[in-house]
Amino acid sequence: MPTETSESVLDAINDALGESGAEPVETEVPAEATEGSGEESQTEGTDAGTQEGEQTGEDAEGKGDEEIEIGPDGKPIEAKKPEAEPARPPDPLNDPIPKDLAQPTQQRIRSLIKTAKEVTAERDTIQGNLNEIVGGLRAANISPAQYGEIVSWFALFNSGDVAQQEKALELGEQLMDQLATLLGRERKVPDPLSAHPDLQQLVQQQKTTREIAVQLAIQRNSQKFRTTVQTQASQTAQTQQQQEQALTQARTELTALGNELQQRDPRYAEKKALLIPALREAFKSMPPAQWAPTFRNAYNALKLPARSGPVGVPAQQPLRAKQPAGGGRPAPASALDAMNEALSSMKG
């Protein structure tokens, strides 16, 4: 039997609970049962704590590599996946033609591409002219209704019919009356006799009446103005005809020149591809008669780099001549350098 001084297991538990602030165990439990239960509880607590700690450590280790952003509501914000770059849309005019297509199909595609580019260039020119006209109307603050009235008035003016031209005169006088009223001024009508001193002298000498002199002056002024209008219209038509003839002649000369160069130069297509874009803007500022000579001079001045030999066969390099004293121009390193050199020689 244990002595009175020996401490039982129940007393030890009560002492431990007293130190932690918990109430002591009052129920009497057999010592053997209590000791066994304590060991099992301690073992289970240790195992559970160890497993929980290991699991927590693993989670912390796994999440430590990722930065989690916390939102205003305290909840983590899901990271947005990077958006894929949009695929480049196909370009039917500039994308290369597949090489596995039959030659007739490739030629047809090239012909369609050429036609589409020509139509696009023509459309851009027309659109540019239209924008210029519309821009001028907007700059003059002309409304669509006013533009329609102006076109209608000139249609009457240029009709050649006396009745319609009288209608144009009536509309013009109404417009002048409105403008004089807007400005608060008296409208001044020019005196038909002001440009005819001989008729004025006849009126002063009382050799004729003013009414008759005015009628004669109006007839003279009308005839003079009609002659001026007809002369201007004839000159305009003649100028347009000359311009059309010059354009036709220039196109004919360029076509003949192209056929000539293509027959004697196997690299005509390469040079033409370089010259046409560079000379297109220059042709706009020079008379059409100079197009063919300008193209010929630029073509003769253009020197392309030598072609490389077939694959696997080294290209034969010509012997380099020694540079004369004073130096000289080196051969162009690229087609672009050759193009710039040709244009420079044209300017000189």
What does the pLDDT read at residue 80?
A: 67
In the prediction, which pLDDT does 32 show? 47
Q: What is the spatial distance between Cα 289 and Cα 304, in angstroms, rounded to a whole number? A: 27
Of residues 172, 204, 208, the one with CA closest to residue 189: 172
Distance CA 335, CA 320 (A): 20
Q: Using CA atoms, how far apart are residues 347 and 279, in angstroms rounded to an integer?
A: 12
Residue 236 has pLDDT above 60, yes or no: yes
**Tokens in use for 123?**
């459309």
CA 277 – CA 275 distance, rounded (Å): 6
**Higher pLDDT, residue 172 or 57:** 172
Q: Which two tokens stand for residue 99?
A: 């090489």
Higher pLDDT, 14 or 277: 277
CA dihedral 217, 222, 225, 230 (to 10 degrees): -150
CB 299 within 8 A of CB 261: yes
Q: Given its phi and psi angles, is residue 319 left (phi above 0), alpha (psi -120 to 50 degrees) or beta?
A: beta
Least confident span in 95-99, 198-202, 340-344: 340-344
CA dihedral 58, 61, 66, 72 (to 10 degrees): 80
User: Which pLDDT band, with edges at 50, 70 and 90, does 197 fall under?
Assistant: very high
